[in-house]
Structure 1
Amino acid sequence: MSGMDTPITLHQPKRLEIGAGAAERLGAWAEGAQRPLIVASGPTAQYVDRLGLSGDIKVLDDIPPEPDLPAFEAALAAARAHKPDLVVGLGGGSVLDVAKLLAALWDAETDLRSVAGPNKVAGRTSRLAQVATTAGTGSEAGIRALITDPETKSKIATESPHLLADIAILDPELTYSVPPAVTAATGIDAMAHCVEAFTNIRAHDLIDGYARMGFNLVGKYLRRAVEDGTDTEARAGMMLASYYGGLCLGPVNTAAGHALSYPLGTRLSLPHGLANAIIFPHVLAYNQSVAPEKTAEIAAALGLADAATEETLLHSAHGFCRDLGVEMRLEKHGADRAALPDWAAEAHAIRRLMDNNPRDMSVEDVARIYDAAY
């Protein structure tokens, strides 16, 4: 499930700044920007002053988790009114995704649906800076953006090199305030990006390298970051793991794990990281039989006690997530067991991800996983 001779394209931000205090370097890089637009959320707006920006600054601090189309359109209207020459994403994955799209679309005579899919964005005139405040999605590294369609509860996915940041900043100090449970869930999400790319039918030796570095960093640092939010080394390690996961998404992407997580996000309003954390052990174990060597490598990196069989791997991986403080039962998150078959059909229909999975998964298989997670 890898081939060095398979053609792929890897996009990366033009510049990466990482380390304690890195956010303060943005001002010097952005010198000359006269109308910055900072896209944030309530919790991340507190970091605006650290960026050292000047000029006519507009802050959008009301981007919700898992933004839907009306929320994005409101942000787009505000961006068009401000006419920014620099767009800064300051937040987690949802904020960074919105920032990408605003930078590309604010001065374009088009809407989001018109550019959904691959390579439909015509260009971008504003510079784009991405300042991550969580370690999970790796959105700062990538060329994709996801917005929820309120009618279908599915994701509107846009992919283009024009969504790539000119500079990405990973400052572990900006993640100190992330609560332990959120740190755990987002960290598992970062790991899932690496794992799903690593075991993907489209896996590639180049991306395998990033994936290995990513899930090994998670194994080394996630528990430390959960136990002590001000452990700067652990926080930096997790931000780098998240970044590596973001690089995995472009040429290879995720697979069944993320497909199964999306209905949990849209139907239960679960944060993306939490939804992925709940699903991760089940899909890791499901795929073991067709990717035994890579699965064993993942299990060793995470220190899973017993990964000899699908059943024991599921138990160990589930315990890994649970012991980090993640509530793993869908029942506790308000799921209706009677709705699970419909959610299974919805997940199974996300073929852009399901078709990447190394082991074929039927609707009934998805339903069994949901039921086991209930």
Structure 2
Amino acid sequence: MQDLARQYTGECCEGDDSAGGGGGVCGEGLGFYRKAVVKGCAPREGAPACLLRMGLLVPPPDDPTVLVPVSPDVAKAELVRPIEQSLQKQRRDAQAIAGSFVPVAAIYTAAQREHTGWATPIDGEKVVHSTLAHAVRECREELMTVQPGGSRVSYDLDELDHVRGPARHRTLYPHAVRTHAATLRHIERLTEAGCEVRTLDHVFDRLVVVDRAVAYVPGHVEARTSALEIRQPAIVAFLVQVFEEAWERGSSVDPRASRTVEPDIADEIQRAVMRLLVAGYTDEAIARRLGTSRRTVAAHVSRIAALLQSRSRAQLGYLIATSGLLPADEGAERDCDPLSA
């Protein structure tokens, strides 16, 4: 249908690129058509193709060598009718498809009420993406999201429709994204659409909470092709509280500002690296938790080791823990973080 519509709009005859003002009729065609209307007919030879294509000139049954003009309303109706018929058929098909899901939806809703588990598994990359997209489109009041790193996976919520409505949207990223150009561009689009964005030294794994009624978390730590849908009120309320506490500790982001990390933010990242070193994490695990690259973590570790004149990783952890660089309650990574990966 789109090809059919494109065939009749914005085209000119034989390379004539004049606008013509006729919505698909070239300048030559407009002049030719006017003369045909005045005279009542026109020779077929030399007639602009656009007039024939749009049905504004047609040959009479008794003389194929001439063309007679057709009223624009009649010609338009002839061209538009098949498109409208196609649209009507598509609407009927869409209604039929939607209707076929009504009994299935009723069974699904009833079965969910009987479901005793606290979470519903969602498996498959496409299924996860479509489930999240539908949930977000249905958001009416508030959307909370957490993105743990600069690299984006296929079911990230990078469409902006959900933040253009009245619903409030807040999202958290790790500080590391402040130097990640692609993520900053995405954040700029989000903020322009009304989203509030903050960053932390590190964040827990992906989280989506819609209207404080349903939450989505990864189904497996390593695999990004599954998720869990959580509707148990107490668990959702707990996840909302975790998000709110993290939000209060976050720093707002101006994606149009310089990509140079502010000193306070840089200090927070450095302290996060030191906490995780003391806790015994590898560079790869630290990078995953902070949403940054292993090379960046290695650079932080190298600077800290040079500062403390450490000759081994084990010695470095000890020196950090005893140097006073970390507050007393941050000497090791806290075990009470409920969503730590």
Aligning the two structures, in what range does the TM-score lie when normalised by the shorter sequence?
A: under 0.3
Q: TM-score, normalised by structure 1?
A: 0.25
Q: TM-score, normalised by structure 2?
A: 0.27
Bigger radius of gyration among the two: 2
